[in-house]
Amino acid sequence: MQETREDLRPVKLGDRRSPPHIITLIVLTGMSACVMNMFLPSLPAMARHFETDYAVMQLSVAVYLAFSAFLQIFVGPLSDRYGRRPLVLWGLGLFMVATLGCIFAPNIEIFLVFRMMQAAIATAMVLGRAAVRDMYTQDQAASMMGYVTMGMAVVPMISPALGGLLDEWFGWQAVFWALFVLGGLTMLLAYADMGETAVPSTKSLTAQFGEYPELLRSPRFWGYALASGFSSGAFFAYLGGAPFVGQVVFNLSPAQLGIYFGSPAIGYFVGNFITARCAVRYGVNQLVLWGCLANAAGGMISLLIFQAGFGNANTFFGLMTLVGLGNGLSIPNATAGMLSVRPHLAGTASGLGGAIMIGGGAGLSAWVGVLLTPETGAFPLLWMMLISAILGLLSIALVMHREKVLKRRSSAPL
């Protein structure tokens, strides 16, 4: 059994009166990753099906991320007011309805509307993170998030490959049928196991939303949120551009692309393992810094190889493991730091921080889809990933600098 906050019941799998088991948290966060990744090898086939350009079809990534960011602004305060459990269950139900809409959409416009609605699954990821922070202190929460996201990292390793195979065997709709079934199983698990972890709030929703300024005035919150946002921005740019690079630049089949596409998840798994084992020992700031350095190194080395004329599918996707490693170190630790700035606003901070991170990812994903052409090759994507990683590095450096200044002030003689 896991040890949790003293006022919570001991964790027990299958007991919806106790906090969620780590297995449930992994499944909830993994489902969000699956929805984001599984259909990407099918984008070119879907563009042909809907008789539209790749840049338009690629908007299915951007609109999903944009609406996910929008939802997270409201999910946090709503969950602080009404609890984590009911919002997770409603989000999963809406996701399943939207998935059916994607399957039967008669044109690209209606498909994009339902794809946007699929972002309701973001409630599972946001509130899974908030539940961890409800249960543990900052460094313990970072360690637990490391274990949760380490388990979740297996999903993007296998889901693109599975999606590519389903596309080749049965067509792109089969990918969405698989998502529908997985969503139903996840909803059953959440119903059976996810007990409430939030301390009930007596504040009105207006008062809940009125607490956003308290977070927005905190430089530490902004530092952690931007470090997480820019670090993950490199990955979101990859999500938007890698299917094009793989199939147009490197001539990979959907199944081949699905296998290559999961390479960042290998590094992500390792990064989260390091987080789980080392967060309490080294602290969140140090691990975020290491993650941002690894992220920037992956983009820079890959760009230099392409500039030298030696870029290929193996070097491009292989070096994405460093980007994944960086995300595995930076995101769970920056999230734990962000949620600990104001612990009583953990749900609000999770939603607002997620909105900042994913909203930026939506913009990068859409932008890279416009910039990439057969003539440009992979260069716009690589440059965008590198710039985003460097900005993340600067963000955590500023957080660490501010904390040093505050320590000097607190230790100065009166």
Mean pLDDT for back-to-back runs of 10 residues, the chain (414 residues): 47 63 81 82 85 81 82 76 82 93 92 92 78 68 67 70 86 92 91 74 66 76 86 81 84 82 82 79 86 91 92 90 89 80 68 74 73 82 89 88 74 53
Q: Is residue 8 in a domain?
A: no
Supply the CATH number for residue 73's domain: 1.20.1250.20
356 touches 223 (CB < 8 A): no
Close Cβ partners of 70 (under 8 Å, ≥ 6 residues apart): 355, 359
- Give tens-digit pLDDT for 32-79: 878 887 888 888 888 888 888 877 887 888 888 888 878 877 777 777
pLDDT for 153 equals 62
| pLDDT given for residue 12 in this prediction | 58
Sign for the CA dihedral angle at 335, 336, 340, 343 comes to positive
Residue 321 domain boundaries? 22-406
pLDDT at residue 110 in the model:
93
Is position 11 within any domain? no
pLDDT for position 2 = 43
What was the pLDDT predicted at 411?
61
Tokens of 83: 């609890």
Is 167 inside a domain boundary? yes
Q: How many domains does the chain have?
A: 1
344, 262 in Cβ contact below 8 A? no
Identify the pLDDT of residue 168.
85
1: in domain: no
pTM of the model: 0.69
Q: In this structure, are residues 226 and 392 in contact, taking their beta carbons and an 8 Å threshold?
A: yes
As given in the structure block, the two tokens for residue 247 are 């199939």
In this prediction, residue 414 carries a pLDDT of 45
Q: Report yes or no: 126 and 103 within 8 Å, Cβ to Cβ.
A: no
> Considering the domain boundaries, does residue 9 fall inside one?
no
pLDDT for 277? 79
In a domain, 135, yes or no: yes
Would you say residue 225 lies in a domain?
yes
Distance in angstroms (rounded) separating the CA atoms of residues 143 and 335: 11
| Residue 413 within a domain | no
Name the DSSP class of 245: I
3-state secondary structure of 21: coil
Q: Between the CA of residue 171 and those of 36, 174, 247, what are the distances in Å?
A: 18, 6, 17
